[in-house]
Amino acid sequence: MADTRSELPALQAEVDEIDQQILLLLGVRFRCTDRIGELEREHGLSADGPHASREARRERIRALTLDSGVPTELAVTLLDAIMDAVEAEQRRQRERYS
Amino acid sequence: MADTRSELPALQAEVDEIDQQILLLLGVRFRCTDRIGELEREHGLSADGPHASREARRERIRALTLDSGVPTELAVTLLDAIMDAVEAEQRRQRERYS
């Protein structure tokens, strides 16, 4: 077993790196959803397709978390917060361009 | 510009893949914090070191989000939810082993 005095800081650094990677992924995710909103506005498409359904996405997340070791309720909470932020941003964009 | 009918599903698939990657990273993060909690219990270390400070981690996240394109308040909300889940799990572990 590695010495605790070296293992603890290494683990804490790994947590920091993971947080950074999650933020980078979230940034890419926002660029995707911005572009999705833009395309939907341009083409008069509804955001209420089966893919946009919050419940469908939640179900998908529940299935994915079964193997990930992430508590399902936490995953759903996080995803809801992300989707709330995306929806608020898309409302702002629609108001700006309508 | 790519055809919208192909661009939209590609973007939606990318969002799904990002969600999956975030969940995988969260799973690794939980394994790290589980091991951190285990080491702290084994060695009678406090979880209240400067690194464990929620405010310090929030500050770090605020700094990181400046470049990521993620709304800072969303990043803080998400990180708080993750840290709440980690703390609840560590409380359960401490009760189990005390």
* Global confidence as pTM: 0.80
Among A residues 58-77, those touching chain B with beta carbons less than 8 Å apart: 60-61, 64-65, 68-71, 74-75, 77
Query: Alpha-carbon distance A97 to B10, whole Å?
Result: 24
**pLDDT tens per residue, chain A (98 residues)?**
557 778 999 998 999 899 899 999 999 998 999 899 889 888 887 765 544 577 877 787 788 787 777 888 888 888 888 888 888 877 887 788 76
ipTM tops 0.85:
no
Is residue B43 within 8 Å of residue A8, measured between CB atoms? no
Site from A32, A67, A84, A90 to mutate, B interface, most B CB atoms within 10 angstroms: A32
Mean pLDDT, range B19-24, rounded to an integer: 90
Query: Alpha-carbon distance B5 to A43, whole Å?
Result: 10
